[in-house]
Amino acid sequence: MAFSTEWEKIYQNNEQISIWPWSNCVSLCHRYGNLHEGMKVLELGCGSGANIPFFVQQKAAYYAVDGSATMVEKLKKKFAPCDVHIAQVDFTRDFHWTESFDLIIDRAAVTHNSTADIEMVLVKIRAALAPRGRFIGMDWFSMRYDAFRMDSANQIDPHTRIFKDGFFAGMGKVHFADREHLQDLFRGFRFLYLDEKVDFVHLPEKMTRAAWDFVVEAE
């Protein structure tokens, strides 16, 4: 299994629980997601389900996968009355759908894998997209992130680390990309939007955080 079991422990401890839809998800889906009633949306690594209310409000058929049994059971109960379908799946291994999706989204889930696993996921994403369907990726970590260069970690591949200390410690695999690496990963897709966000944090301690948001369409 490529799913980092650290996340099951995090959710069991009621940590990393977000309840409001992420602002970049809302804005990018409105601009590029071709939102309409009855559309099929798939979220990879839905976590605590922060984005689900947004798609319910859009009257979309929402599907999601996550590796955490704890979180999947909570979300099934919480959204039982809605057109919401959630499965416990390691999407790097068991991501198989007979239907196709108008929109597939991921916020900081796929990026918690090795380069090889990400490449496998992207093959599955392309196969699952409907004609002219789009994939929106959010908060994929950039190589400009201080942690990539400065924090103690075991190197899995040139772009992937498992951190011993710092912000990413205890979060399993963490993948970082520059523009060239993203474009190589998404060969066979057409970029409609690409944004590298670089934040210079001054307090409580100085650090640089950086991540990518992007929208692609299969060519």
- Per-residue tens of pLDDT for the chain, all 219 residues: 455 566 677 776 666 666 688 999 999 999 999 999 999 999 999 988 999 999 999 999 999 999 888 889 999 999 988 999 999 988 888 777 778 999 999 999 999 999 999 999 999 999 999 999 999 999 999 999 999 999 999 999 999 999 999 999 988 999 999 999 999 999 999 999 999 999 999 999 999 999 999 999 998
pLDDT at 45: 93
C-alpha atoms less than 13 angstroms from C-alpha of 190 in its C-beta half-sphere: 6
What CA–CA distances, in Å, run from 196 to 115, 182, 186, 210, 212?
A: 19, 11, 16, 7, 5
Kindly give, in sequence order, each residue whose CB lies less than 8 Å from that of residue 90, ignoring residues fewer than 6 positions away: 1, 2, 3, 67
pLDDT at 1: 41
